[in-house]
Amino acid sequence: MSELVDARGLLCPIPVIRLALAAVDAAPGTVITVWATDSAARLDVPAWARMRGHVVVSVKELTGGAVAMNIRIAPSPTAAT
């Protein structure tokens, strides 16, 4: 499964907020791709992912100064195992 958060043209903290909203309903293992042009997102998105136990799968430079970051959603820490 994969989802796209197109946050190009949006400034901090909106890219992370949009990612967080998409992650709430995402099943574990879902890869959410974030497109962002805000330079702060290049640091904020991976930091947000680490703090919540998600994995940054890849980061790729796009044309026009944008970046594509793929984040794999981890199981909820409160989920039954």
Residue in 10, 12, 20, 59 annotated catalytic: 12
12 tagged catalytic:
yes
Angle at 75 between CA 74 and CA 77, to 5 degrees: 110
User: In this structure, which amino acid lies at residue 42?
Assistant: R
Distance CA 43, CA 38 (A): 10
Catalytic residues: 12
